[in-house]
Amino acid sequence: MSGPRPVVLSGPSGAGKSTLLKRLLQEHRGIFGFSVSRLSARYHEEPEARRGEWQSKAAVQAVQAMNRICVLDVDLQGVRNIKATDLQPIYISVQPPSLHVLEERLRQRNTETEESLEKRLAAARADMESSKEPGLFDAVIINDSLEQAYAELKEALSEEIKKAQRTGA
């Protein structure tokens, strides 16, 4: 595949993925592109899964053809599904410093019912444990300090950003 490697961004809701990504996009205009990932969809039928994988791969390749870094924001199942492809992305997990901090962030949003908050926290607990799984992610960024987390994200993507800039993005 030509063009910069895609980036798979994962982590629980409230960890700061969107904030970090927004900042990255502002600083590096024209370097990134997006693909709505169908790989993280909850497919149960094999033909559907294959069709979803093909559509996502084609979308990633279309972004790469424009010499942009394709960003896929996926859940853990999506990460595992992408591992089974030949896309060879950079896998980055953004994690909160603790479950307590994550709960505070989600409560401050004021968008959750108590029931949905509990579901998110249970999913986050599993996500935080999986982020420690050897070989699953190339980088795990603990978003305790936005400045530090952003510096780590830029460092993890620096080679691909240079590649996209060199070839005239």
User: What secondary structure does DSSP assign to the chain, as a single string?
Assistant: --SSPPEEEE--TTSSHHHHHHHHHHHSTTTEEE---STTS---SHHHHHHHHHHHHHHHHHHHHTT-EEEEE--HHHHHHHHTSS---EEEEEE-S-HHHHHHHHHHHT---HHHHHHHHHHHHHHHHHTTSTTT-SEEEETTSHHHHHHHHHHHHHHHHHHHHHTT-
- State the pLDDT at residue 163: 87
Confidence of residue 55 (pLDDT cuts 50, 70, 90): low
Mean of pLDDT over the chain: 84
Residues 118-151 have pLDDT tens digits of 999 999 999 999 999 999 999 999 999 999 999 9
Residue 47, pLDDT above cutoff 60: no
Distance separating alpha carbons of residues 111 and 63, to the nearest angstrom: 33
pTM value?
0.82
